[in-house]
Amino acid sequence: MLIEPPISILKSLIPGIAATATMDVLTTIARRLGFAVGAKGAWVGRWYLGMFHGRFAHANISSLPEHRGEKAVAMAGHYAIGIVLAIAYVYGCWWLGLSPRSFLAAVGFSTSTVVFPLFVVYPALGFGCCGRRSSHLKPLQTSLLSHFFYGIGLWWGILVVMK
């Protein structure tokens, strides 16, 4: 007997948006307090735009000229990834028989996604594995904090949707 998933993909949009917004707000606060310094969103937008031209990695993305609309593209990509991860979380919990309402599951999932910026994004931007080639980033600290904040928002968003 197949059990119905806890929420629909459409309802998973809400936790994805809530999680990404929470991540953005709390990471901004952490940056202002000096706990986080990460890659600029414009650089990520520049990277996304470069992919449309077949360029997936750069020697140093910060040395390239700005592209029109790169911040908007970065934000759209950021929220799209946040939504896809929320859907993966909800359906992964369902498949594993876990409750998506679990704070530990949400934060555990979100902090595990730190592998993407450390091993994909930073190297593709030209900052090396885990951002080790950049003197102005706190890549591990910032990524862990940001992804932890995403988990808090994910948990909260799931609670709102799954009353």
Q: Is the pLDDT of residue 2 over 70?
A: no
Helix, strand or coil, per DSSP, at residue 155? helix
Q: Does residue 88 fall inside a structural domain?
A: yes
Q: Does residue 123 fall inside a structural domain?
A: yes
Q: Is 63 exposed, middle or buried (0-12, 13-18, 19+ CB in 10 A)?
A: exposed
Q: Please name the residue that has the structure tokens 């799209």.
A: 80
pLDDT at residue 84 in the model: 96
CA 23-29-30 angle, to 5 degrees, is 85
Q: Does residue 66 fall inside a structural domain?
A: yes
Q: How many structural domains compose the chain?
A: 1
Q: Does residue 4 fall inside a structural domain?
A: no
pLDDT at residue 1 in the model: 43
Mean pLDDT of 66-85: 93
CA–CA separation, 129 vs 66, rounded Å? 24
Contact 82, 17 (CB under 8 A): yes
pLDDT tens across 101-123, in order? 999 999 999 999 999 998 998 89
Domain limits for position 68: 9-161
The four Cα atoms 57, 59, 60, 65 give a dihedral, to 10 degrees, of -80
